[in-house]
Chains A and B, each alone.
Chain A
Amino acid sequence: MKLFKIRGGVHPFENKEATAGSKIMPVPLAKKLFIPLQQHIGAPAEPIVKRGDKVLKGQLLADSQGVISAPVHAPTSGTVIAIGKYPAPHPSGLPVRTIIIEPDGEQRWIDISLPYDDPFNLDPDEISARVAAAGIVGMGGATFPSAVKLNLRKRYQLKQLVINAAECEPYLTCDDQLMREHASEIVDGICIMMHALQVIKTTVAIEANKPEAIQAIEEASKDLAGVSVITVPVRYPMGSEKHLVQTLTGKETPARALTADIGIVVHNVATAHAVQQCIRYGRPLIDRVVTVSGGAVKNPGNYLTPIGTPISMLIDFAGGFKIEPARLIGGGPMMGQPLSGTKVPIVKGSGGILALTAEEISQKQTMPCIRCGACVTACPCGLLPLDMANRARSNDLEGAVKFGLMDCIACGSCAYVCPSHIPLVQYFNFAKGAIIEKQRGQHKQEETRRLAEARTIRMKEQAQAKREMMAKRKAEMAAKKAQEEKKLNAKQRSDAEASA
């Protein structure tokens, strides 16, 4: 198949050798599991259990709120010992609402028997409803609720499904290893997703540096006419869904639109596996494969980790630190976020935990921009990172937006090539955050006005009602008085008559 070129991109050192081919090892249960209620994009889930409740493995702990949301389930059986705030795996390290479970070690499942034999007889809506109830979110890191993407067929004319197995981030091999070991389950998951989306064509896109995974998926899908495996060139950011689609089809997704606008839905390969587990066995998303790597880790590898396991536990299981890491990152080194410490838990979107040494992060002094244009060449979205960063630096947010800030995917290619080591992506993240905060301020102002107006109207109505009441009472009083006077007058008259 003919592939198309994308613009820009970089070739970072892959550093995948340390973990490529290392078997997925299950991580034992931690003493306590910390399950954040927001592990996805959208509204946080709302707890339905109380402190002290006994829960079983796979039991619903907190339910989704609204359409763009996802529930969370118990990764093992045990007791809910607290529902409170706990630091999130987030660069701010701020606390989020978290359910803390103390495992009893019995691993007793809830009843997960299924009311059907063949998922292909199910209604597509039923499949997406089951995927939503299983709390499955995009496992490539974006954590967008998968069921919403399975429902896209209602609004778009879909032509094909693309399975994103590019795994272009350096260090990470969790998807690679999942494909090597669970190819048939992944292909089954792909077929279920094709049924849910009602499409007949699927392309599994894998970067050329994973020959074993390519072979495994090809082997597993050789009898299926609709599923084809495509080897894509090794180039960061190949795993960005818009760029992947462009490589495969030559079509560019319009700015700020979805790939569904050009008839394509992209799902991560680990999501396909999670969907298969949910539809075939009724298992919700309660664990995931995490790559633990980086120069500071003793035994880098891929670990099947229950959601909520503290990172410290995972690192201990990987042999602990060889040397003190200079930086701890959740995700890949290009787009991952620094972590505040090792006590934060693994969540649905954690594909990797990297403990990098000072050599690996090679932090250098920022120098002035020399307008060499390297970032412009590297930008896969065709933007001008240097101009955007300049505007963000001088607080000219609108200017940055005019230069295409909202089309930036924060892939980090520009910062990677910058010879002056300017933290370009941090400027963009700052500007995006400031714009959102400004919008929030405006929204609050509008709401305040609405509330104040509603109150003024209510106060007026109340005053009016009071006045009317007073007038009515006054009239009643006057009438009563008049009647009494009349009575009195009549009495006086009769008295007078009597005396006369």
Chain B
Amino acid sequence: MLSAIFILTVLGLTLGIILGAASSYFSVEGNPLTAEVEAMLPGSQCGQCGYPGCTPAAAALVNGEADITLCPPGGRTLAQELAEKLGISVDLSNMKDKQPMIAKIREELCIGCTKCFKRCPTDAILGGSKQIHSVISDACTGCEKCFDVCPTECIDMHPIPKSIQNWYWSKPSVSV
């Protein structure tokens, strides 16, 4: 009787100590998945998803509050990666891939106010005060931050032009 009580007490105490130690040693601050998801997002903090930046967007994704198709600059590629990461199976073949857009400045209307230049999250706009600004199209993510601030509305969003560098054969249409 006594020995049984003793054994169980010792056992309970030992396991309790181990668990207590483990909880402090292996403690995690927040969800590690959030950090991983955040690393996958473009990181340009453009806010097109409706969240203030990529970190809150990642948290929302992990908590299941946001859709995996939320990130327009990431496009379909990112949506697929996110689906794999979060273990969600979604049929993306029907997802209307929002065509990737890039900004273009109409030079005859640009007054060189530098507003767009200051807001570009990827430094894709080149220009200076009272100088015509120009977009480096390879670096543009199409976040539309510049589009919103331009006082003369001289910025347009264009789809990325097709060239023989990015053209490829379409899938043969399935016959009946």
Contact = CB atoms under 8 A, between A and B. Distances in A.
Interface of A: 38, 88, 90-92, 94, 96, 365-367, 392-393, 395, 423, 426-427, 429-430, 432-434, 436-438, 440-442, 444-445, 447-449, 451-455
Interface string B105-127: 00000000000000001111000
B168 A434 contact: yes
B162 A94 contact: yes
A393 B163 CA distance: 24
B42 A94 contact: no
Contact of B122 (A367, A436, A438, A452): A452
Given A395-B93, A441-B75, A454-B123, A449 B169 contact: no
Given A92-B164, A366-B175, A432-B168, A445 B78 contact: yes
A38 B163 CA distance: 12
17 contacts: A88-B164, A94-B164, A96-B163, A366-B172, A393-B171, A427-B171, A430-B170, A442-B77, A444-B141, A445-B42, A445-B74, A448-B43, A449-B42, A451-B122, A452-B43, A452-B121, A455-B121
A440 B169 CA distance: 16
Q: Secondary structure at chain B's binding surface: helix, strand, loop or mixed?
A: loop
Contacts of B93: 395
A445 B141 CA distance: 9
Rank and list the top 5 A-B pairs by shortest CB-CB distance, nearest first: A433-B168, A451-B122, A429-B169, A441-B77, A449-B43
A440 B76 CA distance: 12
A429 B169 CA distance: 6
A310 B133 CA distance: 39
Contacts of A441: 75-78
Interface residues of B, number: 29
Nearest to B121: A452
B44 interface: yes
Contacts of B74: 445
A393 B174 CA distance: 9
B162 to A, nearest CB: 6
A444 B124 CA distance: 13
Nearest to B44: A452
B45 to A, nearest CB: 7
B166 to A, nearest CB: 7
B169 A430 contact: yes
Given A395-B93, A448-B141, A452-B44, A429 B166 contact: no
B122 A455 contact: yes
Contacts of A92: 162, 164, 167
A59 to B, nearest CB: 26
A444 B43 CA distance: 12
Nearest to B162: A94
B169 A453 contact: no
A96 B164 CA distance: 7
B171 A430 contact: yes
Contacts of A96: 163-164
Interface in B115-163: 121-124, 139, 141, 162-163
A440 B74 CA distance: 12
Contacts of A392: 171
Interface in B14-64: 42-45
B45 A438 contact: no
Interface string B74-87: 11111000000000
A442 B123 CA distance: 19
A455 B164 CA distance: 32
Name the residue in B169, B170, B171 with the highest tally of chain A Cβ atoms < 10 Å from its Cβ: B169
Contacts of B170: 430
Contacts of A438: 77
B78 to A, nearest CB: 7
A392 B170 CA distance: 11
B141 A437 contact: no
B171 A94 contact: no
A392 B174 CA distance: 12
Nearest to B169: A429
A452 B42 contact: yes
A91 B167 CA distance: 10
B73 interface: yes
Contacts of B174: 393
A388 to B, nearest CB: 13
Given A366-B175, A449-B43, A453-B43, A430 B162 contact: no
A54 B58 CA distance: 60
B90 to A, nearest CB: 13
Contacts of B168: 429-430, 432-434, 436-437
A455 to B, nearest CB: 5
Contacts of B123: 451, 454-455
Nearest to B143: A448
A445 B162 CA distance: 19
A423 B164 contact: no
Given A442-B77, A452-B121, A94 B167 contact: yes
A91 to B, nearest CB: 7
